[in-house]
């Protein structure tokens, strides 16, 4: 305990994104493996080029998956404007707040 005292850490739970599926998970795994290969001391130029290509593919896939997910959410509610705005507000993390004060007491205002 003297050299390495016990410490408490708080771990926050972040839920997976709804568009995060197995295909994207496998692509990220490939990217990590290619990154490890490219970062090695004896990595070849081909390893580095392959990593760059896989990294770009992973980024494109992420963007496409997000676009497809949100497009489906909006299309499913296209006849209900309120539902579309609810989806947008929830995804943009907009909270409904009351701009008016909670008290009627004029001196307190």
Over the stretch 1-45, which tens digit does the pLDDT of each residue have? 678 888 888 877 666 788 888 999 999 999 999 999 999 999 999
Stated pTM of the model: 0.65
How far apart, in whole angstroms, are the C-alpha atoms of residue 21 and residue 4? 39
CA-to-CA separations, 101 to 15, 54, 95, 108, in angstroms, rounded: 34, 53, 17, 10
Q: What pLDDT does 24 receive?
A: 92
More confident residue, 52 or 94: 52
49: how many CB neighbours lie within 10 A of its CB?
12
Among the listed residues 21, 14, 15, the one whose alpha carbon sits nearest the alpha carbon of residue 69: 21
Cα dihedral 22, 25, 29, 31 sign: positive
How far apart, in whole angstroms, are the C-alpha atoms of residue 6 and residue 49? 43
Lowest mean pLDDT among 27-31, 51-55, 63-67, 86-90: 86-90
């Amino acid at each position: 305990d003297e050299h390495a005292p016990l410490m408490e850490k708080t771990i926050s739970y972040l839920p997976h994104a709804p568009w995060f599926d197995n295909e994207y998970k496998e692509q990220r795994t490939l990217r990590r493996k290619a990154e490890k290969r490219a970062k090695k001391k004896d990595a070849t130029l081909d390893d580095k080029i392959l990593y760059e290509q896989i990294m770009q593919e992973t980024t494109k896939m992420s963007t496409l998956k997000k676009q497809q997910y949100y497009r489906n959410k909006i299309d499913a509610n296209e006849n209900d404007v309120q539902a579309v705005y609810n989806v947008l507000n929830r995804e943009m993390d907009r909270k409904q707040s009351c701009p008016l004060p909670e008290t009627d007491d004029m001196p307190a205002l």
